[in-house]
Structure 1
């Protein structure tokens, strides 16, 4: 090959390489860019089991959670599992005991810390074997305190600053693979929805002025410890099979287990509309995906997400 031919070949190769690099880095036209660095580390998630009977309300610090799970427990009552990462408050509670449902839900996160008041003896081996950092008061006594203004057992609170829990590594919702973006097309206008357990009731009412779904429990507005309204940017009503587990509370009531591995229907509420979606979770180690009727991944409004496990 001639010298000029060699130079032309080198120039062509350089042009191709330049084109590839330019495409990878994006353009100045504002289009999407492809990542050129390693993915950000997954969120360091702190999960707290929160009491939710009337005597335990209002909760402290719940409004700061990235994701709020609502689940049915004994006697048809409800409890909350709140996941924190982007904003961890100085106090959270009241803290109550863990359930089998919590262990399956938390498999979706990357070795989260679980703060809880305790658990029945039969469940403790499962907690110890789970891929999480179990943190009851017996393991971190200085991270918990009793509120003298409330009666036990509704007066135990967590001081997250008292535990070696890293923060500031992203949003727990993104750790689940949920994406904050513009809403998909479609959806049905709706002003509110209600979910009932045998002994608990939740309402979610759209507030256009506040841009959120205001939460109500048992017919009353739900408030924070500082007096503000509890509200969610997105609410997921996820239909699940609720089964009797092999565990019981001290009163002999069977502990229900909400199965979150599998598939089913759900409704996603965002910005005053309801979207019918399908949820799917193949294994306990995988995250739950939510897909619209036309096969697209469901997107979520920026802000707190409530996921209510609704008995089929």
Structure 2
């Protein structure tokens, strides 16, 4: 021991620096190897794995659930500050959000299959550009009226839909103490009953998204702990990656997006930023292009994947695809999906 101490004391400053640098280099290399393999920690944030594995898997989330074979239901939701917190927002399997006015107001379409919220709302009007997205998943589309072009198509039964303007006291209701038009609500049980009363097909026709439990390759250039969606305030969004749960937590207008039903913050395993274009129709409406193709950034497992989105404009019910830069359909990590549609 004394001999080792004596040898160490005889080292020059340059030798100490060289040895220290070599140790630091080894540590950095070891860290990136560890990170590339997902940190050496296997996370299961989807509840009781034994129970889930015995259930059929949802073609939307890739997770086992009792309603996996049911036809999903899409609901138009408000985004206005007065409506926050929204009821049922944390329980949706996939959510689409886009700006619907030239001033930047956004609207949300939440799709439910695996979970059955006791309350969903505030339910708002349909916008035409959400119809192809609802059709792409084979959903029944629930809404409270709509803008002229959307209502013309929905009244013509372009897709199965449930309009609260027709069924306000049957499948929807208004809550006291909340100003109109923000006081319209429903619940999953009422909507499910409506699909049966209206004799809509109960079969799920969505072909699904490919899924993989493998971690995404990581490097310094694609690591992404924060996602910023620059909608006009107070509709601006950010997502924060929670490595211990391998999910993204949603923040809206600087505050966590929580669910009024349960106080739970909205989380997603996959966040997609879908880039497209828009054109103003009037001071109150704008048209957002949700068919054709464009660029997209897909965030999962703490990394960003650059790619493209594509939806065949010749078929209303065509699937919305997401491809990587090699033209291969991206395999999503199992879990909930949020699609943030931004206009350029």
TM range (shorter): 0.7 to 0.9
Distance (whole Å) between structure 2 residues aligned to residue 186 and residue 234 of structure 1: 15
* TM-score calculated relative to the size of structure 1: 0.77
Aligned partner of 1:175 in structure 2 is 206
Q: CA RMSD in A?
A: 2.4
Structure 1 residue 121 displacement after superposition: 4.2
Aligned partner of 1:62 in structure 2 is 89
Is the contact between residue 140 and residue 195 of structure 2 (CA under 8 Å) also seen in structure 1? yes
Q: Which residue of the other structure, out of 213, 217, 232, is the alignment partner of 1:198?
A: 232
Distance (whole Å) between structure 1 residues aligned to residue 253 and residue 312 of structure 2: 34
Distance (whole Å) between structure 2 residues aligned to residue 125 and residue 292 of structure 1: 36
Structure 1 residues without counterparts, runs of 5 or longer: 1-40
Structure 1 residue 98 displacement after superposition: 0.7
Is the contact between residue 74 and residue 111 of structure 2 (CA under 8 Å) also seen in structure 1? yes
Relative to structure 1, the CA distance from residue 212 to residue 99 in structure 2 (aligned partners, 3 Å threshold; closer, same or farther) is same
The worse-fitting range, judged by mean Cα deviation, of 279-288 and 233-242 is 279-288
Distance (whole Å) between structure 2 residues aligned to residue 219 and residue 151 of structure 1: 24
Aligned partner of 2:330 in structure 1 is 298
Is 2:264 the counterpart of 1:234? no
Aligned partner of 1:277 in structure 2 is 307
SS in structure 1 at match of 2:271: strand
Distance (whole Å) between structure 1 residues aligned to residue 342 and residue 286 of structure 2: 12
Distance (whole Å) between structure 2 residues aligned to residue 73 and residue 180 of structure 1: 31
Q: Which residue of the other structure, out of 189, 195, 202, is the alignment partner of 2:223?
A: 189
Aligned partner of 1:131 in structure 2 is 158
Relative to structure 1, the CA distance from residue 80 to residue 176 in structure 2 (aligned partners, 3 Å threshold; closer, same or farther) is farther
Listed one character per residue, the Cα deviations across residues 172-219 of structure 1 (whole Å, up to 9, x for unaligned) are 8x9263122135753511111101123421101101123210101112
Aligned partner of 1:47 in structure 2 is 74
Relative to structure 1, the CA distance from residue 185 to residue 231 in structure 2 (aligned partners, 3 Å threshold; closer, same or farther) is closer
Distance (whole Å) between structure 2 residues aligned to residue 68 and residue 185 of structure 1: 22
SS in structure 2 at match of 1:266: strand
Structure 1 residue 44 displacement after superposition: 0.8
Relative to structure 1, the CA distance from residue 282 to residue 42 in structure 2 (aligned partners, 3 Å threshold; closer, same or farther) is farther
Distance (whole Å) between structure 2 residues aligned to residue 181 and residue 129 of structure 1: 39
Is the contact between residue 42 and residue 175 of structure 1 (CA under 8 Å) also seen in structure 2? no
Distance (whole Å) between structure 1 residues aligned to residue 164 and residue 284 of structure 2: 25
Aligned partner of 1:14 in structure 2 is none
Is 2:272 the counterpart of 1:244? no
Distance (whole Å) between structure 2 residues aligned to residue 130 and residue 137 of structure 1: 15
Is 2:118 the counterpart of 1:84? no
Distance (whole Å) between structure 1 residues aligned to residue 155 and residue 195 of structure 2: 18
Distance (whole Å) between structure 2 residues aligned to residue 242 and residue 85 of structure 1: 30
Structure 1 residue 254 displacement after superposition: 3.7
SS in structure 2 at match of 1:59: coil
Structure 2 residues without counterparts, runs of 5 or longer: 1-67
Distance (whole Å) between structure 2 residues aligned to residue 42 and residue 281 of structure 1: 24
Structure 1 residue 307 displacement after superposition: 0.4
* TM-score calculated relative to the size of structure 2: 0.70
